[in-house]
Amino acid sequence: MISQAKLTHALEGVLVPGARRDVVKMNLVRALSASGDKVSVVIAAVALPPPAQEWLKSKVEEVLKGEPGVKTVDVKVIAAKPAEVNVVGKVIAVMSGKGGVGKSMVASLLATSLQREGKEVGILDADITGPSIPRMFGLSGVKPAGNEDSIIPVLSATGIEIMSINLMLENEDEPVIWRGPVVAKVIQQFWQDTLWGMLDYLIVDLPPGTSDAPLTVMQSLPVAGAVVVLSPQQLAAMVVRKAVKMAKKLSIPVLGVVENMSYFQIPGSKKRVEIFGTSHLAEMAEAAETTLTVQLPIDPKLAALCDDGKIEQYRSKDFDAFAKALSTAKVRQA
């Protein structure tokens, strides 16, 4: 009797071409059965050009034939769309209303912390006109694989799936001069036409403001909750309150609040300077109806890691604890 679990385990050794994640994690195994010494498997060929489909088919056959007791393997490859195979646990939107408070950095740190906990994580960069995620992860110039209909996300150094408009541009400095409805369409495509596979978390990095892009994400993606980012400036707090109210209007719970650039630790001293003013974190948490908060200091090291595409190397116990608490918060499933 051939064990189904063993067959599945064997298939975990088959990487999807261009994805660096295996067929099981990408949820491409649509059926798997064994009868006597014969194994039948159905593979969904999502986002794969014909040569990659052929390669995948023969690789699956080879791996399964290597299992004890298996004599014949019947591999059937079927066409499917990403939306048919994607299984995303929770969609978490990182929002801020105000730009430049470190929203993309927080989205990246959140993905990194959750990934370190053993979760499967992806990031959808919904900031179409100011995309920062690929740079944070050192992915400038990397192009995603895919076919005409579908895209395979790019994998970061530690294994986080990433999709961003900047991965699609010839030159990352190229401006995307699109009006709102086009921007909204692209975000929907990033959600529907990307082969995310099986993920525990999809972190969505929203652009600043309360117009098309955040609206599209909140209305057309099954957002479980939002993380709100602000800086200590009162002015930022005012604009961020707009974002909190927007989330409320759209019935999206705020799961936690991150205050970035809270203080600057003078090098070689224990003195902290509140460069951007005193904290509004407690007040904002109250407005957002959450008790989960964390502060991030102004840290030249962190700024350098962001610039060098090495955000995954940053460690903060406080932030890890924040991410862990966030992951256990009760929210609706995607």
77 belongs to the binding site for its own copies (CB under 8 A):
no
* Contact pick of 14, 56, 239, 255 for its own copies (by CB under 8 A): 239
What mask, x for binding its own copies by CB under 8 A, covers residues 167 to 186?
-----xxxxxxxxxx-xx--
Does position 235 interact with its own copies (CB under 8 A)? The reply is: yes
Q: Assess 136 for contact with its own copies (CB under 8 A).
A: yes
**Number of Cβ within a 10 Å radius of residue 107:** 31
Q: Does 156 bind its own copies (CB under 8 A)?
A: no
Q: What's the closest the beta carbon of residue 285 comes to its own copies, in angstroms?
A: 15
Rule CB under 8 A: is residue 21 a binding residue for its own copies? no
* Contacts of 9 by beta carbon, 8 Å cutoff, 6+ apart: none
**Where does this chain touch its own copies (CB under 8 A) — which range of 11-19, 73-81, 202-210, 326-334?**
202-210
Q: Is residue 238 a contact point for its own copies (CB under 8 A)?
A: yes
Torsion-angle region of residue 3: left (phi > 0), alpha (psi -120 to 50) or beta? beta
Query: Under the criterion CB under 8 A, does residue 245 sit at the interface with its own copies?
Result: yes
CB atoms within 10 A of CB 227: 27
Where do contacts with its own copies occur on this chain (CB under 8 A)?
A: 97-102, 104, 128-132, 135-136, 172-181, 183-184, 207-212, 215, 231, 233-236, 238-239, 241-243, 245-246, 249, 264, 266-267, 273-277, 298, 300, 303-304, 306-307
